[in-house]
Structure 1
Amino acid sequence: MTDPRERLEAERRRTTRRLAQLRGDFDEVVEASRDTNADDEHDPEGATIAFERSQIDTLVRLADQTLTDVDAALARLDAGTYGTCEVCGRPIDPERLEVRPTARTCVGCTPPPR
């Protein structure tokens, strides 16, 4: 297993780069929409500009949430609580942390997906 801090910091770097790319993509879509007076809602070429903006905005929000989760995990690491389930207080399986380094709970205490 790799060092948790190294994994978390690598994830933070990847997500930060991805976020910058997404924000650039968003700016390009907005700029492209200013240069055209095409009928966005009836574009025979495919997705509307509004859809593309919405899709990129959703990806930006997900990346922002990832950064929040990574920062919280780094804070738990600094506090000495990283790897401890926030619900039951037992250790989180190292294999779970390897796959999901921002995990706050053990598998048994993880709520089912909505």
Structure 2
Amino acid sequence: MVKRKVVFRKKRQNRLGMFLVLMVVLMLLVVVSLKSAELRQKQETYAARERVLQEQIDAEKARTEEIEEYRKYTQTKKYVEEVAKDKLGLVNEGEIIYKPDE
């Protein structure tokens, strides 16, 4: 009879221990899954921000190319002539300013 009580007590303690281990494992599983979902959400946010920043970088590169082309254009003779005509009112030799009415 005494042996039976010891065996029963050991089984009861063993079940309690298994139950506690199971609860700890389940709690860890819940925490890990919540953190995983949070990390996925952060990853999506960062990916969206990365796309926006990449678009801004591409726009700035295009703008840089336009500015470089304009800089090259401003160093040409054609640009100098246009500015002289428009802003200073100068004309080339032999160029007719006004046409007489016929």
Q: Same fold (TM over 0.5)?
A: no
TM superposition score normalised by structure 2: 0.35
Rg larger in structure = 2
Asked which structure has the greater RCO (Cα within 8 Å, sep 6+), the reply is 1
